[in-house]
């Protein structure tokens, strides 16, 4: 039998390096906006809702508004009764406020053809089951965006290089995996806090 194994023909054993396996690291993703907690206090939740409304106006209408600066004394707001009732309505329906805000602002922009910011009281007037269902659809599309950290990007480039047959250090691979994992956890914590504080966009 003819062999093409040169290590046998030469009498020497050729040791080939083991292929380096690069583990997959789950990246951080923007979480979907949460619903209001069942035991929440409307007076504490109202400023967060106002921030979400202000950020929504900036994202959907491209306008700056002072409504997002309403951070204290909600009971003194001109429409506090209407806002507090809307908060309880959203809570009862399990509807994330940020999702409802985006739905309402897009209705204002696309169907009412308005560009100036609507008042906070308008956005939370007349909440119906249909509105809540539409907002639930908005919530499904507001989360899931991948956040690429520096180590995650470097690990992806290294994986491509290894697949091309380029040399790589196992120590470097392990370092990048550990760093990418830590960065992803840090970003998940930050994104969760940001979404809870009113940044859903």
At residue 103, the pLDDT reads 87
Are 85 and 133 found together in one domain? yes
Are 127 and 148 found together in one domain? no
Closest CA to 105 of 114, 92, 95, 94: 114
Which of 140, 163, 187 terminates a domain? The answer is: 140
Are 51 and 64 found together in one domain? yes
Number of domains in the chain: 2
Q: How far apart are CA 111 and CA 108, in angstroms?
A: 6
- Whether 16 maps to a domain, the answer reads no
Are 43 and 127 found together in one domain? yes
pLDDT at 127 over 80: no
- Whether 185 maps to a domain, the answer reads yes
Least confident span in 112-116, 153-157, 190-194? 112-116
Are 135 and 42 found together in one domain? yes
* pTM for the structure as a whole: 0.70
At residue 121, the pLDDT reads 77
Are 95 and 78 found together in one domain? yes
Are 115 and 183 found together in one domain? no
Higher pLDDT, residue 74 or 6: 74
pLDDT at 188 over 90: yes
Domain that holds residue 176: 144-201
Are 103 and 150 found together in one domain? no
Are 47 and 136 found together in one domain? yes
- 121 in helix, strand or coil? helix
- Whether 2 maps to a domain, the answer reads no
CB atoms within 10 A of CB 28: 21
At residue 51, the pLDDT reads 85
Quote the strand ranges of 87-147, DSSP E: 146-147
pLDDT at 195 over 90: no
Which of 122, 140, 158 terminates a domain? The answer is: 140
What is the C-alpha radius of gyration for the chain, rounded to an integer number of angstroms? Answer: 26
Are 161 and 134 found together in one domain? no
At residue 182, the pLDDT reads 97
Q: Are 54 and 97 in contact (CB under 8 A)?
A: no
- Whether 19 maps to a domain, the answer reads no
The confidence band for 183, taking pLDDT boundaries of 50, 70 and 90, is: very high
At residue 151, the pLDDT reads 96
143-161 confidence digits (pLDDT tens) = 888 999 999 999 999 999 9
The confidence band for 175, taking pLDDT boundaries of 50, 70 and 90, is: very high
pLDDT at 1 over 50: no
């Amino acid at each position: 039998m003819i062999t093409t194994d040169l290590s046998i023909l030469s009498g020497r054993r050729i040791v080939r390096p083991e292929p380096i396996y690069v583990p997959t690291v789950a990246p951080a993703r923007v979480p979907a906006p949460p619903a209001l907690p069942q035991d929440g206090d409307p007076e504490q939740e109202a400023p967060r809702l106002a921030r979400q409304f202000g950020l929504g106006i900036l994202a959907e209408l491209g306008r700056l508004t002072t409504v997002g600066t309403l951070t204290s004394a909600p009971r003194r707001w001109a429409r506090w009764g209407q806002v507090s009732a809307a908060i309880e309505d959203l809570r009862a329906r399990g509807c994330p406020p940020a999702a409802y805000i985006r739905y309402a602002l897009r209705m204002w922009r696309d169907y009412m053809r308005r560009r100036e910011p609507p008042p906070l009281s308008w956005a939370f007037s007349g909440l119906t089951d249909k509105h809540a269902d539409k907002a639930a659809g908005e919530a499904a599309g507001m989360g899931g965006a991948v956040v690429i950290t520096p180590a995650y990007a470097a690990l992806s480039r290294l994986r491509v290089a290894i697949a091309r047959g380029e040399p790589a250090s196992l120590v470097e691979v392990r370092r990048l995996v550990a760093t990418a994992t830590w960065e992803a956890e840090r970003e998940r914590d930050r994104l969760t806090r940001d979404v809870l504080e009113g940044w859903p966009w």
